[in-house]
Amino acid sequence: MTHTDAVEIWPGKAYPLGATYDGYGTNFSIFSEVAERVELCLFDADGTETRVVLPEVDAFVWHGMIPNVEPGQRYGYRIHGPYDPANGQRCNPNKLLLDPYAKAIDGQFHWDQSLFGYNFGDPDSRNDDDSAASMPKSVVINPFFDWGSDRSPEHEYADSVIYEAHVKGLTQTHPDVPAQLRGTYAGVAHPAIIDHLKSIGVTAVELMPVHHFANDSTLIDKGLSNYWGYNTIGFFAPDAKYSANPNPGGQVQEFKAMVRALHEADIEVILDVVYNHTAEGNHLGPTLSFRGIDNAAYYQIVDDDNRYYMDYTGTGNSFNVRHPHSLQLIMDSLRYWVTEMRVDGFRFDLASTLAREFYDVDRLATFFELVQQDPTVSQVKLIAEPWDVGPGGYQVGNFPPQWTEWNGKYRDTVRDFWRGEPSTLDEFASRLTGSADLYEHTGRRPVASINFVVAHDGFTLRDLVSYNEKHNEANGEDNNDGESHNRSWNCGAEGPTDDIAINELRGRQQRNLLATLLLSQGVPMICHGDELGRTQQGNNNVYCQDNELSWVDWANADEELIAFTRQVAALRTEHPVFRRRRFFNGRPVRQRASAGVPDISWFRPDGYEMGDDDWESGFGKSVAVFINGNGIPDRDPRGRRITDDSFLLCFNAHHEPIEYLVPPAVYAARWEPVLYTADSVQVDGAKAIDAGQPLVVDARSTLVLRAVPSPS
């Protein structure tokens, strides 16, 4: 280690925070209200550390400019200040700390005693072991990148199909992705992946966490890892674990190249972000960054005992959205990813936590007010996971009008309907038509509902129809982890079977769920691999399984299911009647072609319109819905009224075939089948059916009919 006087340092600027390279040198800036002195630590390639005291402090922001420090420079901080856990203060200059604004991070954590502020076995003690050798390092990046003619696709929500994916899990086994690119940002950008996404109608990839995250020591000790990545420690840094570029900071250039490639293919990039907590855990967690910089500013601590943390996330701590600098960090991070990394939106993990200014969830919390007025962040896609584990945390339908939400009620209802649960018909109808009961009262539209049947957390689509119980033994927690109430049905046997009838039913159920998802009003989200029959062998919590159990198995893809998914996706893309921007109202439309016919009508199988008693029937599991293509209240960008074909969707969740009577000619004179889940092959070109005629819909299947246009 050399001394401060060996390095020339100028006053620099307090803003922007972080390390900013301008072509001549690098400005370093970090916030700490409790610091008494801040040392910037520069590391050579061999690990030699040079400490430099930041010379200036303005409004609790410490800063300095060092000429000739270039991209690739590895660095960290040491904060001199009070160590008094009982009063919420945990500064210790023996702990090297990551820059909260680091744009790149190099290296991994080596979990030993030095990373912790106390001695193992004695949480009230103080540990002064130097942690530098066990810490990854922040990296100065090159901010310059040739974006060429890049632009965001800016797809309307109504026209969007979201694909939730894990960078490594999606690409790790794909045979057409070069081995050195598998599991990386470059792998996601490979034409083989992009071509597949385009073929199933995907308009946006929602990437599971790519912010730099810590791999938990408890999992490493078990031979496992934090595969999902919901353990953020760097809110500005794309994780280097997903980079094929080995150079410090190279992951930033690779991530930008991925975004550029996806944009060229007309696909947006949405990030799953975790601002509700960090990887430092509870009071027994390591000191890696925020805890050692300004613990009480960055975390919500217990008011009457400041040594402990409020935990609304189940991870040990909750980020302090009450503090202006914590809020600034979140907003600066969001703006950075939009302006510099050019992503198109965010899905906020456990978003209810961000609304907790004090104890209760506050729908108008400061964070949402900041987002509302921000000219950059307010213009991208904002998706909330509208719950956390704290009291009152389930907030589906209660987020501000600008937000969309993962609709957990959609997931639960659609699963229940297709597994044959009683008394689900009325709610199924509501979910199919955009969940007006949840969103219309706040002025939102059907697109507020992000519809999903399966997400990363839970069974895959194939497992949902193959298992009644979770099978998480591989996680090493005696099958106690993961959700126990999955609303799944194994169709007659638990797990893999040679029974032809059961396997055929499972295939049909997967098609039913995909068809329902893609033909519902709102925004559909497909979980990666569900379109090709991915299984996790009944494990519904693969957060720690970075292996073949969690990766998409491209070698055993169900080609028939992929073809069916493409067919349904094309039906949605080609017909705006499935992508309405406003809720149905049930009133007759005025257009001459459908004068007097409502924009939507519901029918019993016998052809009569559904009445109140029919909706309240506990045994009803079959319904038909007419969607009027002349009743779309939307207009195209030029202001022209949008019209489409009309459709009749027949849903039969009963265990026996049901005979339906086609509605009378006032709705349409003739109908032609365009989709049938009872068979995996297409039905386009099948014999047309006249109004008022009977037709049989097979057990547990969906039949979609299109009105045949009348001769002009």
Q: What is the pLDDT of residues 97-134, one digit of tens each?
A: 999 999 999 999 999 999 999 999 999 999 999 999 99
Instruction: Report the C-alpha gap between 278 and 131 in whole angstroms.
Output: 19
> Tell me, what's the pLDDT at 616?
85
pLDDT > 70 in the chain, percent: 96
Q: How many CB atoms lie within 10 A of CB 72?
A: 17
Per-residue confidence band for 363, with pLDDT thresholds at 50, 70 and 90: low
Instruction: Report the C-alpha gap between 526 and 162 in whole angstroms.
Output: 6
Per-residue confidence band for 362, with pLDDT thresholds at 50, 70 and 90: low
Asked if residue 401 belongs to a domain, the reply is no
Please provide the DSSP assignment of 322-381 as one string: TSHHHHHHHHHHHHHHHHTS---EEEETTGGGGG-SSSS--TT-HHHHHHHH-TTGGGSE
Look at residues 140, 173, 193 and tell me which one is the last residue of a structural domain.
140
**In which element (H, E) is residue 701 found?**
strand 701-707
Structural domain for 59, as ranges: 18-140
Per-residue confidence band for 456, with pLDDT thresholds at 50, 70 and 90: very high
Instruction: Report the C-alpha gap between 315 and 329 in whole angstroms.
Output: 20
How does the average pLDDT of the chain come out, rounded? Answer: 94
> Tell me, what's the pLDDT at 468?
98
> Tell me, what's the pLDDT at 323?
92
Mean pLDDT to the nearest integer, 65-73: 97
Instruction: Report the C-alpha gap between 257 and 167 in whole angstroms.
Output: 14
Report whether pLDDT(5) > 70. Answer: no
CATH number of domain containing 633: 2.60.40.1180
Catalytic residue (choose from 39, 106, 332, 349): 349
614: tokens are 């029919």
Report whether pLDDT(465) > 80. Answer: yes
Tens of pLDDT, residues 195-224: 999 999 999 999 999 999 999 888 999 999
Q: Which of these ranges, 358-362, 477-481, 507-511, 557-561, has the smallest mean pLDDT? A: 358-362
Catalytic residue (choose from 39, 239, 280, 385): 385
Residues 6+ apart with CB under 8 A from 71: 21, 139, 140, 141, 142, 249
Q: Which of these ranges, 586-590, 631-635, 682-686, has the smallest mean pLDDT? A: 682-686
- DSSP bridge partners of 406: 450
For residues 90 and 349, the model is more confident at: 90
Asked if residue 111 belongs to a domain, the reply is yes
Report how far apart, in Å, the C-alpha atoms of 327 and of each of 295, 324, 348, 447 are: 14, 5, 15, 28
Instruction: Report the C-alpha gap between 252 and 240 in whole angstroms.
Output: 9
Mean pLDDT to the nearest integer, 175-193: 98
> Tell me, what's the pLDDT at 322?
86
Report whether pLDDT(512) > 80. Answer: yes
Mean pLDDT to the nearest integer, 15-30: 97
Predicted TM-score (pTM) of the model is 0.96
Mean pLDDT to the nearest integer, 357-373: 73
Domain total of the chain = 2
**Contact, 652 vs 700, CB < 8 A?**
yes
* Site of tokens 């980079």: 243
Dmax of the chain from CA atoms?
92
Per-residue confidence band for 619, with pLDDT thresholds at 50, 70 and 90: confident
Per-residue confidence band for 352, with pLDDT thresholds at 50, 70 and 90: confident
Asked if residue 243 belongs to a domain, the reply is no
- DSSP bridge partners of 673: 705
Sheet of 18-21: strands edge to edge? 18-21, 25-31, 61-67, 56-58
Q: Which of these ranges, 203-207, 495-499, 687-691, has the smallest mean pLDDT? A: 687-691
> Tell me, what's the pLDDT at 640?
87
- Residue 349 catalytic? yes
Per-residue confidence band for 685, with pLDDT thresholds at 50, 70 and 90: low
Per-residue confidence band for 360, with pLDDT thresholds at 50, 70 and 90: low
Instruction: Report the C-alpha gap between 354 and 326 in whole angstroms.
Output: 11
Asked if residue 57 belongs to a domain, the reply is yes
Q: Quick one: DSSP state of residue 240?
A: G
Asked if residue 197 belongs to a domain, the reply is no
> Tell me, what's the pLDDT at 176?
98
- Residue 385 catalytic? yes
The SS3 of residue 611 is coil
Asked if residue 699 belongs to a domain, the reply is yes
Asked if residue 94 belongs to a domain, the reply is yes
Mean pLDDT to the nearest integer, 598-624: 92
> Tell me, what's the pLDDT at 359?
54
Burial of residue 708 (number of CB atoms within 10 Å: 0-12, 13-18, 19+): middle
pLDDT > 90 in the chain, percent: 85
Please provide the DSSP assignment of 191-223 as one string: HHHHHHHHHTT--EEEE---EEE---HHHHHTT
CATH number of domain containing 22: 2.60.40.10
Report how far apart, in Å, the C-alpha atoms of 356 and of each of 274, 483, 664 are: 15, 25, 54
Look at residues 108, 140, 172 and tell me which one is the last residue of a structural domain.
140
Instruction: Report the C-alpha gap between 159 and 447 in whole angstroms.
Output: 9
Q: Is the dihedral of CA 442, 447, 448, 452 positive or negative?
A: positive
Report whether pLDDT(592) > 80. Answer: no
Report whether pLDDT(595) > 80. Answer: no
**Contact, 438 vs 427, CB < 8 A?**
no
Asked if residue 647 belongs to a domain, the reply is yes
The torsion angles phi and psi of 179, rounded to 5 degrees, stand at: -55, -40
Look at residues 140, 171, 194 and tell me which one is the last residue of a structural domain.
140
Per-residue confidence band for 710, with pLDDT thresholds at 50, 70 and 90: confident
